[in-house]
Amino acid sequence: MNLIIFGPPGSGKGTYATRLEAKLGTAPIAMGDIFRDAMKQGTPLGRKVEDYLRSGKLVPDDVVIEVLKERIDQKKGGKGFILDGFPRTIAQARALEKIAKIDAIINLQVPEWIIVARLSSRRICRNCGAVYNILYLKPKKEGICDVCGGPLYQREDDTEAVIRDRIKVYEKQTQPLLEYYKGKVPFVDFNCEELNLPPDTAVAEILKGLKKIGLYKN
Ligand code: ADP
């Protein structure tokens, strides 16, 4: 099964995609994580994308599509994938059509005040990528990952000004994609109105939605 998870920055895409893997076996492919890893390692890809990520702008389509193709190739033979952060433009969606068939779209809707509140207090494990929040999803030991003991850090683009720019980019470039997919691919909609909704509650709702369209049994 191949899924796309859509939602504004801070809507929980990465958190839910990781948890859905445990239930569905779908491997998360998170475009932003791939770019941040490349930057950390100082690869040619990392150098190419760093200015875009720092300012919250989109990386050019040709670069992103090339990376996606490679990743999907690596996951072949598995139980499918869940795309987080791709496609972000219509050109990317068109390219994806030639690469893989998508079975459903998970569409997360979250109001802007929740996004800003969440992202400005988000912390991420440098080692394994687990996500925390210093206000309500705290690690047991400050600054240390519960899962692997790695150090927690704050993303450079998780500052209020850049968060607001990322939301604008999402509304302008990525939201039109929902229209593009309507009628082509089944949707599972999930509305979040609660700042500190436990991730497991959200994941249970998403699984219910997938069950309704016949993609999940249990
Ligand atoms: P967010 O929390 O804003 O959804 P991501 O980790 O998905 O963050 O992406 C971070 C940044 O990586 C984006 O602001 C953008 O610069 C770049 N990026 C990620 N995915 C794409 C994509 N599909 N197309 C272009 N740029 C992308």
State the pLDDT confidence band at 218, using cuts at 50, 70 and 90. Answer: confident
With the most atoms of ligand 1 within 8 angstroms of its CB, the residue from 4, 15, 31 to mutate is: 31
pLDDT in tens, 61-110: 999 999 999 999 998 889 999 999 999 999 999 999 999 999 999 999 99
Q: Is the pTM of this model over 0.85?
A: yes
> How far is ligand 1, taken at its centre, from the CA of residue 33, in Å?
8
User: Is residue 93 in contact with ligand 1, taking CB distance under 6 Å?
Assistant: no
Q: Residues 123-150: what's their mean pLDDT?
A: 93
User: Is residue 123 in contact with ligand 1, taking CB distance under 6 Å?
Assistant: no
pLDDT in tens, 185-207: 999 999 999 988 889 999 999 99
Q: What is the pLDDT of residue 150?
A: 97
With the most atoms of ligand 1 within 8 angstroms of its CB, the residue from 57, 59, 123 to mutate is: 59
pLDDT in tens, 101-120: 999 999 999 999 999 999 99
- Please tell me what DSSP assigns to residue 173: I
Give the position, in ligand 1's atom list, of the atom nearest the Cα of 13. Answer: 4
Q: Would you say 78 and 61 are in contact if contact means Cβ atoms under 8 Å apart?
A: no
> How far is ligand 1, taken at its centre, from the CA of residue 53, in Å?
7
Q: Give 73-125 as a DSSP string.
A: HHHTTSS-EEEES---SHHHHHHHHHH----EEEEEE--HHHHHHHHHTEEEE
Give the position, in ligand 1's atom list, of the atom nearest the Cα of 8. Answer: 4
State the pLDDT confidence band at 38, using cuts at 50, 70 and 90. Answer: very high
Helix (H, G, I), strand (E, B) or coil at 128: coil
Q: What is the pLDDT of residue 136?
A: 85
Active site residue 166: yes
Sign of CA dihedral 162, 194, 146, 85: negative
User: Is residue 166 in contact with ligand 1, taking CB distance under 6 Å?
Assistant: yes
User: Is residue 52 in contact with ligand 1, taking CB distance under 6 Å?
Assistant: yes
Pick the catalytic residue from 19, 36, 88, 118: 88
How many CA atoms, within 13 angstroms, populate the side-chain half-sphere of residue 94?
Answer: 5
User: Is residue 88 in contact with ligand 1, taking CB distance under 6 Å?
Assistant: yes
216 pLDDT higher than 90: yes
Active site residue 19: no
Nearest to 125 by CA among 157, 158, 152: 152
User: Is residue 59 in contact with ligand 1, taking CB distance under 6 Å?
Assistant: yes
* Protein residue whose Cα sits closest to atom 5 of ligand 1: 32
